[in-house]
Chain A
Amino acid sequence: MKEKNSKAVKWILIGISVIFFLLMLVLPLLEVIYRALWDGIASYQAALTAPNTLSALKVTLIATVIAVAVNTVFGIIASWLLTKFDFRGKNVLSTLIDIPFSISPVIAGLAYIMTFGRTGWAKPLIDGINDALGTDIALVFSVPAVVLATIFVTFPFISREIIPILYAQGRDEEEAAAMMGASGFTIFRKITFPHMKWGLLYGIILCAARAFGEFGAVYAVSKARGKTFTLPLEIDALYMAGSADSITQAFAVSSLLVGMALIMLILKNIVEYRGKRSDI
């Protein structure tokens, strides 16, 4: 009796999950593919090789690579700080790091414009640096602006993945090594890094996925199509271009991002699997 009952519950729960999963996650994906191929393969290819799309792809990749690099460095250092030492204000610091995680991306864009824009207070500072170095760097409405906005929204992604792992691992090994006179770098390389390896990779993948998909923050600081647009902005531009053709093109470019997202998910699963195995 109990056995039967439990089976029924099992399949009901699985059923609910599958329906929810299909409706919320799989259907949107199919919709993108379906709309992308609306006008056939030829126009699909044309949409993907349009100069604006290629330029957007380039900007997206630049922003993603730099954001991942910066956030990896930060993530490793911050997680070392937060898990290996005790100090006052630790909770506040860890909360501050997490801010971009839940902040409205609109605010992120706004923050950069208010700081580095033509009317921002840091503008004279940047002009001064540009004059001194003879460069022409603009931190708003430019590729560097896109990069900065991307770094902002993905800032905590890597530290958040490593911190729990390092917490769980504790400090004993490091303390022992330090007592034996190992240098900080050696301790990190020989003891800490092997522990965080998989978590770090996992964080990098999530960070990259979020970075190439960012819309709101980048939207605020990037205005020139074909120059500083990223793929999500290009999709918005195509969607807004009004004709049925361009909407199909918008979905074609979307399918590119969906493809990149799926690759990230597959990588993530491989990393997770390997990570779990190496735990044993």
Chain B
Amino acid sequence: MLTAACMVTVFAGCGDKKGDGTITFTNVSYDPTREFYEAYNKMFAEHYKEETGKEIELVQSHGGSGSQARSVIEGNDADVVTLALAHDITAIEEAGMIEEGWINEFDRNSSPYTSTIVFLVRSGNEKGINDWDDLIKDGVEIITPDPKSSGGACWNFLAAWQYAKQKFSGDETEMKNFVSDIYKNVLVMDSGARGATTTFVENGQGDVLIAWENEALLTLEEYPGEYELVTPSISILAEPSVAVVDENADKNGTQDIAKDYLEYLYTEDAQRLAGENFYRPSDEAVLKEFADTFDLSVNLCTIDDFGGWDQAYADFFADNAIFDEIYSK
């Protein structure tokens, strides 16, 4: 009885509502955006205080994109989601928590910033890795996360697939063999993009990391002189999406803040902040300011080349789809 009573007190004391009128607002995001949103939240909190005179407490949640989407469906109280791929947000929509048409709610398919897939190699590039071709060479050890649990890894796979498509002019058997050969060289398959970076950088595994451009650039900055970035001839334009989680925002009374939070991402200041954190700003003018940072001449395909995320997911990553087929070869 005593324990029960004490549990109830503690549980009741944990409600989100604080007496002083501070609003708590949760952004559920994916792994590599930690640094960006940490900076952005400071910026937004100031903006919010200026506008309304009120304090806002911004709570961040990070993890693999797929698992983050699942946690929202299961009850993680997100006001907004900022995930790695539209497919994960569609999953939340299908659970009835986000209204249809969310992708057109904000500019540019609700992608305030984009990124692409590049290679990170150790300084000197001893194995001579310059393009997707070089990844199938004997003795090349690749680090890339598991597409089954990481959104970033899906982008990696699709970029490789697109390269194969051009190289073998659409011959599916050849393409499968090629991509299968790449995955034969995968040494460690972490569950998320961040884990893969840690494995490659901190624990010194492998010769090449297939990574988000923003991750790769961040690593270059953190460890000057130790790594080189290689841009392959073909890559994919990764468009991380954002959306208001309507069910939660309505319940928490944060619908307006949520819209403001996501719209503010498109302001010049925020776009510049994205650029500084190595995300490609979707604002063309701001993007040009970062022409030194990003290789703007890469041949980029988009997810539309694969018929959109839902199609791509069904074709490639569902159980017994192409990824399973080539990986178990």
Contact = CB atoms under 8 A, between A and B. Distances in A.
Interface stretch (B43-51, B157-165, B195-203, B267-275): B195-203
A266 B195 CA distance: 35
Contact of A136 (B10, B16, B194): B16
Contacts of A140: 74-76
B77 interface: yes
- Give the interface residue-count category, chain A: 35 or more
Interface string A61-76: 0100010011001000
B222 to A, nearest CB: 5
Contacts of B68: 223
A135 B12 contact: yes
Interface residues of B, number: 42
A147 B195 contact: no
Nearest to A117: B74
Contacts, number: 101
Among A119, A135, A136, A242: residue with most chain B CB under 10 A: A242
A136 B15 contact: yes
Given A135-B12, A144-B10, A242-B218, A225 B61 contact: yes
Interface in B216-264: 218-219, 222-223
B6 interface: yes
B75 A70 contact: no
A143 interface: yes
Contact of A224 (B61, B192, B223): B61
Contacts of B31: 240
Contacts of B195: 240
Interface in A199-256: 223-227, 237, 239-244, 247
B76 A141 contact: yes
Interface in A17-54: none
A95 B153 CA distance: 42
B14 A144 contact: yes
Nearest to A219: B63
Interface of B: 2-3, 6-7, 10-12, 14-17, 26, 28, 31-32, 34-35, 59-63, 68, 71, 73-77, 95, 192, 194-195, 197-198, 201-202, 215, 218-219, 222-223
10 contacts: A66-B3, A73-B2, A113-B74, A147-B10, A147-B11, A224-B26, A224-B61, A225-B59, A239-B198, A240-B194
